[in-house]
């Protein structure tokens, strides 16, 4: 009987602790914000270092490999912002992939100093017989 009471008390306490952890993690560990969330309250993030998460907009990537200037657009399909980043793009960086950029807004442009990849959970081997991208191959060999 005593053990049963302890058992029930234990489960209740663990449940409360769990709910609190969940709440704390949910509110304070917002790892990144989405472009539309920034757009809704730009003043809240003014002059603050933020992480912006979204997808690399198709057709928006421009990379100047002489000066390591990377420019692209980040989107959550509601709101899109231009991003500039100094440095070479990571290996998995490409159009349509998930990314998290760290930095701050200057006007409507996001100045990023760290570019992280948040890739999808889709894993598949390359398709056989896919034509080789000759241009990419030439670029690599140069």
Partner 1 sequence: MAVKSGETKRPMWLNVFGISCLILFGVATFLGLVTSPPDVNQGDLIRVMYAHVSVVWVGFVAVIMTAIFGMLFLWRSKAMDDVWAVASAEMALIYFALAIIGGMTYSKPTLGVFWDWDAKLTLTALEFALLVGYFIVRGLLDDPKQRARISAVVSIIVLASLPFNWMAAKWFRTLHPSKSFDMTSSGVKDTMAPIFRNILLFNVAVAALIFIYFLFERVRLGRLEVKAEALEDSIQPRSEVVRV
Residue ranges that bind partner 1, judged by CB under 8 A? 3, 10, 14, 17-18, 21-22, 25-26, 29-32, 53, 90-92, 94, 97, 100, 114-127
Comparison of 10 and 59: residue with beta carbon closer to partner 1: 10
CB of 136 to partner 1, least distance (A): 13
Comparison of 48 and 123: residue with beta carbon closer to partner 1: 123
CB proximity list for 117: less than 8 A, separation 6 or greater: 90, 92, 93, 97, 98, 99, 100
CB of 107 to partner 1, least distance (A): 25
CB of 54 to partner 1, least distance (A): 11
d(CA 2, CA 51): 51
SS3 138: helix
End-to-end Cα spacing for the chain:
78
Angle of CA points 35, 86, 77, to nearest 5°: 20
Comparison of 41 and 119: residue with beta carbon closer to partner 1: 119
SS3 18: helix
Comparison of 27 and 108: residue with beta carbon closer to partner 1: 27
CB of 51 to partner 1, least distance (A): 9
CB of 33 to partner 1, least distance (A): 9
Neighbours of 131 (CB within 10 A): 5
Comparison of 31 and 43: residue with beta carbon closer to partner 1: 31
């Amino acid at each position: 009987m005593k053990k049963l009471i302890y058992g029930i008390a234990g489960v209740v306490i663990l449940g409360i602790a769990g709910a609190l952890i969940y709440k704390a993690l949910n509110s304070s560990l917002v790892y990144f914000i989405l472009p539309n969330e920034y757009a809704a309250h730009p003043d809240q993030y003014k002059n603050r270092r933020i992480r912006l998460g979204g997808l690399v907009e198709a057709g928006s990537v421009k990379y100047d490999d002489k000066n390591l200037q990377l420019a692209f657009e980040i989107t959550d399909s509601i709101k899109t912002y231009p991003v500039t980043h100094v440095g070479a793009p990571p290996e998995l960086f490409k159009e349509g992939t998930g990314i998290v950029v760290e930095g701050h807004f200057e006007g409507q442009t996001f100045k990023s100093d760290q570019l992280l990849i948040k890739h999808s959970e889709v894993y598949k081997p390359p398709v056989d017989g896919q034509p080789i991208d000759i241009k990419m191959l030439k670029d690599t060999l140069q």
